[in-house]
Amino acid sequence: MDFFVILASDICWLEMEKIKLYDKTFRLYIPYERISEAIDRVADKINADFRGCTDIPVVLCILNGSVLFTAELMKRLEFNCELVSMKLSSYSGTISTGVVRNLLGPTSDLSGRRVIVVEDIVDTGNTIVALSEYMKETKAADYKVCTMLLKPDVYKKDVNLDYVGMEIPNRFIVGFGLDYDGIGRNYKDIYVLDEE
């Protein structure tokens, strides 16, 4: 699996731009240019796997976090696909509750379909496990998991991640779809919690 790894040492060259969301300050961590390069690599792999397909795979956008990633990814896909959405939640503030709730969808039937599940970030893996079980229940023909970001230090589940944009340390981040209590998703760059 080829993907980009962001290490703590990689952030020293970044401009130290900061944003404030509610009571917390975040500093620039991954600029949009690097995000875009990672999406290019992921799209290349998906295109290679689905090139020439005669069915119409489903791109399952997991709301709300993966909206920006899904939009950027779909612009790069070179095969016919259907966009479907589903909303799950497992976070309260900066903490994972450990309980995954299905809040919406999916917005179309997945039975007998090949599905590309698109997530913004995989950390504890609770959402991915819940999605994997859901894919089996709905009798999807096959599913692949695609995530923009992975925190390998905390992901210890058995569900395979087929497409990973970047690996990052276990830090709380916002931007490019990721939020802190509902805000911060709109930033094109990714910011990390400033703990100094």
User: Which residues carry out catalysis?
Assistant: 123
Distance CA 154, CA 169 (A): 9
Distance CA 71, CA 113 (A): 21
Which DSSP helix (H) or strand (E) runs through 58?
strand 58-63
Q: State the residue for tokens 């699996």.
A: 1
Q: Are strands 190-193 and 173-174 parallel, antiparallel or unpaired?
A: antiparallel
Nearest to 90 by CA among 109, 64, 118, 116: 64
Written as one letter, the residue type at 66 is: S
CB atoms within 10 A of CB 39: 20
